[in-house]
Amino acid sequence: MSQINRLTQGGRIDRSKTLNFSFNGTSYTGFPGDTLASALLANGVDIVNRSFKYSRPRGIVAAGAEEPNAVVQLGSTEAAQVPNVRATQQALYQGLTAASTNGWPNVQNDVMGLLGKLGGKMMPPGFYYKTFMTPASMWMTYEKLIRKAAGLGRSPRENDPDIYDHMHRHCDVLVIGAGPAGLAAALAAGRSGARVIICDEQEEMGGSLLDSRDLINGQDPALWAAAAVAELLAMDEVLVLPRTTANGYHDHNFVTLHERRTEHLADTAPQINGQPQARARMHHIRAGQVILATGAHDRPVVYANNDVPGNMLASAVSTYIRRYGVVPGNKLVLTTSNDYGYRAALDWHEAGREVVAIVDARAKPDGDLVKAAREKGIRIITGSAVFEGKGSKRVSGARVARIDLDNFKLAGSVEDLVCDTIASSGGYSPVVHLAAHTGARPVWSDEAIGFLPGKVKGMTPVGSARAVYSLSAVLADAVEAGASAAAACGFESGGIELPQVQSATEGPACALFQVPHEKPTMRAPKQFVDQQNDVSAAAIELATREGFESIEHVKRYTAMGFGTDQGKLGNINGMAIAARCLGQTIPQTGTTVFRPNYTPITFGAIAGRHCRDLFDPERYTALHSWHLKRGAKFEDVGQWKRPWYFPIGNESMHDAVARECLAVREKVGILDASTLGKIDIQGKDAREFLGRIYTNKWEKLGVGKARYGLMCKDDGMVMDDGVTTCLAEDHFLMTTTTGGAAGILEWLELWHQTEWPELEVYFNTVTDHWATMTITGPRARDLLSEVTDIDLDKDNFKFMECREGQVAGVPARVYRISFTGELTYEINVQANYAMRVWEALFQHEAKYGLTPYGTETMHVLRAEKGFIIVGQDTDGSVTPEDLGMQWCVGYDKPFSWIGHRALTRPDTKRDDRKQLVGLKPVDPKVVLQEGAQIVRDPNQTIPMKMVGHVTSSYYSPVLNSGFALALVMGGHKRMGEKVYLPMADGKTHEAEIVSPIFFDPKGARQNV
């Protein structure tokens, strides 16, 4: 049988086309305009899931984002799997494939359900903690089984075929929600010329107007909604975003919107003109004003067995009938605390099915809708409520009695009604979630019997989001708010004529949360508060009895409002129950914190296009394509891709590095050093500034001369180093470490701007502008002489000097500085010419044995010379003296410098500080592990006293031995001592403390 619950007419669906879909392996049909939920209800599918903890059969309760049960796994292929989709929010499309997230082997017959049936006594709150707490070592095992039993969907095991992206947008007024309030506010704001964005999470804009009994201008209010949307679409400065949920409301009116662009079409995004389109798009909105038109959720009533399929929200029943032409049952009992709940009974009656009774908690209801029900001859039982539903896989009856809410007990005889559907309405809960995201606590209103959004700067709630429910009042409220929001952004609205509204007048509601039962709450059949997390009234009562008095603790103990639900249906009832148990008011009890996201967002949308090869910028030097062609292996240094080494053929890294090292020591190597930070410093006080920022002296550095400098933080610890050259009297070029470049420029600006603004000096980054090629090795001079007009004579161009001239026909600055200990020239040219100069040098490759080398060889060569790398041999706790570099500290400089004071503290003068030394493994074949801990006595008991650690360690081809740099307590005075390095594999290495300079200790080779 197909679509047994579908009406032959009515609803906003297109009956001319049939859509086929499958749910839990069974094929069904529906119509365009359906949601998966409305189509399932049309087909008479009662059980859509098993509950999270007790595995109870569950049916569809709601018609929107607040649905707790109909959470499904979507996708026809493995790659297209999407967990945690609410069937009530998923538009139906041809071929849609969905399955329940819980239930094993299936939702109809579930093994876990047996355990659930044994009931609450078996699984009280804290059940998992209490049962599986010991032994602690087994928790990882328990957890896997518990998770499998609990369900809640699964991630795809294959790559997502779809793409997602982000848009950053700004507007004057953001309107969240396109029901009557949102549309009216957007029109009022939009007509002023303000930039407006309006979003709505549903398939169709209009909200409650799509299933309302009211009339606007004497017509179906959906027509007014359609006209409003059309007008908004036609406005230049208005952006209309359908199928877009405002998921997070952050500080300063920054709101994240999740636009589902193709999920109503297919489970993977169709291509457009052969190009992929984003399946979902995250809009990052920065709004001047936010209008919160998020509406209200109907609040279910808490009574026994209120989770059996067939228990629904009254408003959802109306929505299914009026919007989708689906009556989700045959015999209805309505239990309500208010007039608007009556719409469900009237709609049900008009659809031609039986309304068994309306059970109204109020003694004397008398609004228009009540009268209309009486006129239709519908039985109304007043002063009463449904206190228990009957049935297990579908409602079979309702138990009704008079209630005494003051004393929380039943107050009369019980009547059993036969029905298959129980609709309940406990009143509306304004959707305060988004406002709460900002940290604004919701405020209780006795008048509204609900929480209202807290105050947020630049945010105005309108309509039912602030408990204004009558349509004419909603429209007036929204127009005023829309115009005011635009005015706050400097746009005057011409005003807007309010349409004529005909709606029923409503009588006052009463506060009804949990219905008392014949038995005490702890003994009655389960009365569910939060169906998604299986939290019952008894669980909340137990939590309060066990001493959890804060609502936040009650939440964590019971899991109420956790996860994807975020307390949409259950939290107000849960707070009311906790308040009753604690003998306090609801405002005293307060609310829990609703957090982003309002409904689940796919990770893809959060990542956007920042994935795969666009995940993070890769910074390239001007020579990158040469390195690629030469077969370089790359190392990530910050975001830079630096050549690591250049293997030839199948050469191993070890062999390649050994070859590169020997080439530099014996012939000549070349390194692309363009990534070094370079800062141009100009001004008459540049020299003075350098003296204050570096530890060493700069006042006497002559023009054309270069000097190594150390920089400390104000705590006296080394933060960066590099060579700075005096280009002219008031002009310097500072180099920094590759990783430090951006931070050091900020550091210089910080000190200049905040401490020494009187110094006349400017700093500008030229890192990307100059390409730097380092040629180093005994034949460097011969090589360079082939391509330059600079006088390279050793007496005319000395070590630590700079010259200008032509290299390969390109203007260049050449620096004689060395990080290898060999004769070295650093050639700097404007980066656009780098490739030409590099290739010109390589024309002499064969003649001089020119060998390109990468960062690994650079590391070995500098370590052989005992040159530190800041961040590798230092870690923010190392002073210049710890490094043995007191020669680089000018204690007697006239003006204090950064770190000076800290370096005179007793702590920085201790002689047992960790100090930089060399380590020579006794077995030359051993290459110590970087990070390995050092002890003096290998035979002591664990925990051993650790006296230092290895910072750099390599194999040296020229020494034919492993060697290392290390920080060792009091190391400078322990030359020649033996230390031990116990390793994780049980071996212990022995090493001798030596000078950190392993090669050419007198520095003769760089001075030739």
Partner 1 sequence: MSKVAIIDQCAGSDVRAESPMHHVKVPSVAANPGVVLEQKPFLGHMTLRGNSADDAFCAAIQQVLGVALPLQPSALVHDASGENSIQWISPDEWLIVVPGGREFEVETALHQAYSGHFAIVTVSGGQTLLTLSGPNALDVLHKSTVYDVHPRNFPVGKGITSNFAKATAIIRRPSEDVWELIVRRSFADYCYRWLVDASREYGVSVKV
Q: Which two tokens stand for residue 615?
A: 């995940």
With CA atoms as reference, report the closest residue to 681 among 721, 735, 718, 722. Answer: 735
Candidates 58-66, 82-90, 105-113, 834-842 — which segment interacts with partner 1 by CB under 8 A? 834-842
What's the rounded Cα separation, in Å, for the pair 634 and 641?
6
CB neighbours of 283 closer than 8 A, spacing ≥ 6? 166, 167, 168, 169, 197, 199, 241, 244, 256, 257, 258, 259
- Residue of 249, 557, 640, 853 that binds partner 1 (CB under 8 A): 640
Q: Rule CB under 8 A: say whether 168 interacts with partner 1.
A: yes
| Beta strands 278-292; 163-176: pairing state | parallel
Of residues 169 through 188, those in contact with partner 1 by CB under 8 A are 169-170
What's the rounded Cα separation, in Å, for the pair 765 and 741?
8
What's the rounded Cα separation, in Å, for the pair 338 and 318?
15
Dihedral sign of CA atoms 551, 556, 560, 564 in order: positive
- Residue of 142, 408, 603, 762 that binds partner 1 (CB under 8 A): 762
Report whether 257 contacts 245 (CB < 8 A). Answer: yes
Candidates 164-172, 334-342, 406-414, 966-974 — which segment interacts with partner 1 by CB under 8 A? 164-172
Query: What is the nearest approach in angstroms of partner 1 to the Cβ of residue 693?
Result: 17
Residue with tokens 């127009």: 479
- Residue of 635, 760, 801, 992 that binds partner 1 (CB under 8 A): 760
Q: Rule CB under 8 A: say whether 804 interacts with partner 1.
A: yes
What's the rounded Cα separation, in Å, for the pair 800 and 1007?
9
Residue 709, classed as helix, strand or coil, is: strand
Query: What is the nearest approach in angstroms of partner 1 to the Cβ of residue 278?
Result: 8
Q: Rule CB under 8 A: say whether 620 interacts with partner 1.
A: yes
- The contact pattern for partner 1, residues 188-217, with x = CB under 8 A and - = no contact, is -------x----------------------
Of residues 255 through 284, those in contact with partner 1 by CB under 8 A are 272-273, 275-278, 284
Closer CB to partner 1, 836 or 893, in the complex: 836
Compute the CA torsion angle 337, 340, 342, 344 (nearest 10 deg): -120
The neighbouring-strand residues paired with 955 are 962
- Residue of 835, 927, 994, 997 that binds partner 1 (CB under 8 A): 835
Residue with tokens 């307060």: 590
Closer CB to partner 1, 250 or 836, in the complex: 836
Query: What is the nearest approach in angstroms of partner 1 to the Cβ of residue 74?
Result: 24
Q: How many residues bind partner 1 (CB under 8 A)?
A: 63
Closer CB to partner 1, 249 or 770, in the complex: 770
SS (H, E, C) 781-810: HHHHHCCECCCCCCCCCCCCEEEEEEECCE
Q: Rule CB under 8 A: say whether 785 interacts with partner 1.
A: no
Burial 628-667 (b: 16+ CB within 10 A, else e): eeeebebeeeeebbbbbbbbeeeeeeeebbbbbbbbbbeb
Rg (CA), the chain: 38
Q: Rule CB under 8 A: say whether 729 interacts with partner 1.
A: yes
Candidates 215-223, 644-652, 653-661, 810-818 — which segment interacts with partner 1 by CB under 8 A? 810-818
Q: Rule CB under 8 A: say whether 768 interacts with partner 1.
A: yes
Candidates 149-157, 304-312, 617-625, 959-967 — which segment interacts with partner 1 by CB under 8 A? 617-625
Q: Rule CB under 8 A: say whether 789 interacts with partner 1.
A: no
Report whether 359 contacts 385 (CB < 8 A). Answer: yes
Report whether 828 contacts 960 (CB < 8 A). Answer: no
- Residue of 680, 688, 856, 881 that binds partner 1 (CB under 8 A): 680
Q: Rule CB under 8 A: say whether 764 interacts with partner 1.
A: yes
Residue 20, classed as helix, strand or coil, is: strand
Query: What is the nearest approach in angstroms of partner 1 to the Cβ of residue 642?
Result: 11
Q: Rule CB under 8 A: say whether 393 interacts with partner 1.
A: no
Q: Rule CB under 8 A: say whether 605 interacts with partner 1.
A: no
Q: Rule CB under 8 A: say whether 688 interacts with partner 1.
A: no
Q: Which amino acid is residue 898, in one-letter code?
A: I
Q: Rule CB under 8 A: say whether 488 interacts with partner 1.
A: no
Candidates 26-34, 70-78, 616-624, 887-895 — which segment interacts with partner 1 by CB under 8 A? 616-624
- Residue of 624, 659, 687, 900 that binds partner 1 (CB under 8 A): 624
Of residues 320 through 339, those in contact with partner 1 by CB under 8 A are none
Q: Rule CB under 8 A: say whether 350 interacts with partner 1.
A: no
Q: Rule CB under 8 A: say whether 166 interacts with partner 1.
A: yes
**Residue 943, Ramachandran bin (φ over 0: left; ψ between -120 and 50: alpha; else beta):** beta
With CA atoms as reference, report the closest residue to 564 among 245, 282, 170, 965. Answer: 245
Q: How many CB atoms lie within 10 A of CB 203?
A: 18
Closer CB to partner 1, 167 or 522, in the complex: 167
Residue with tokens 């009832």: 573
DSSP H or E segment with residue 298: strand 296-298
Candidates 88-96, 504-512, 674-682, 852-860 — which segment interacts with partner 1 by CB under 8 A? 674-682
Q: Rule CB under 8 A: say whether 233 interacts with partner 1.
A: no
Query: What is the nearest approach in angstroms of partner 1 to the Cβ of residue 896?
Result: 24
Q: How many DSSP H helices and E strands does the chain contain?
A: 26, 49
Of residues 5 through 64, those in contact with partner 1 by CB under 8 A are none
Q: Rule CB under 8 A: say whether 758 interacts with partner 1.
A: no
- Residue of 731, 893, 936, 972 that binds partner 1 (CB under 8 A): 731
DSSP 717-786: -EEEEEEEEEEETTEEEEEE-TTTHHHHHHHHHHHHHHT-TTS--EEEE-TTTEEEEEEESTTHHHHHHT
- The contact pattern for partner 1, residues 116-155, with x = CB under 8 A and - = no contact, is ----------------------------------------
Closer CB to partner 1, 290 or 823, in the complex: 290
Q: Rule CB under 8 A: say whether 830 interacts with partner 1.
A: yes
Query: What is the nearest approach in angstroms of partner 1 to the Cβ of residue 597?
Result: 20
Closer CB to partner 1, 657 or 829, in the complex: 829
Closer CB to partner 1, 165 or 360, in the complex: 165
- Residue of 167, 226, 473, 935 that binds partner 1 (CB under 8 A): 167
| Beta strands 528-530; 278-292: pairing state | unpaired
Candidates 38-46, 161-169, 309-317, 403-411 — which segment interacts with partner 1 by CB under 8 A? 161-169
Burial 888-900 (b: 16+ CB within 10 A, else e): bbbeebeeebbbb
Report whether 954 contacts 962 (CB < 8 A). Answer: yes
Candidates 107-115, 613-621, 646-654, 975-983 — which segment interacts with partner 1 by CB under 8 A? 613-621
Q: Rule CB under 8 A: say whether 929 interacts with partner 1.
A: no
Report whether 376 contacts 343 (CB < 8 A). Answer: no
Closer CB to partner 1, 118 or 728, in the complex: 728
Q: Rule CB under 8 A: say whether 630 interacts with partner 1.
A: no
Of residues 697 through 726, those in contact with partner 1 by CB under 8 A are 703
Identify whether 430 is preceded by a cis peptide bond (ω within 30 of 0). no
Query: What is the nearest approach in angstroms of partner 1 to the Cβ of residue 722?
Result: 18
Compute the CA torsion angle 301, 304, 308, 312 (nearest 10 deg): -10
Q: Rule CB under 8 A: say whether 286 interacts with partner 1.
A: yes
Interface residue list for partner 1 (CB under 8 A): 165-170, 195, 272-273, 275-278, 284, 286, 609-610, 613-614, 616-622, 624-625, 640, 675, 680, 682-684, 703, 727-731, 760, 762, 764-771, 804, 809-811, 813, 829-836
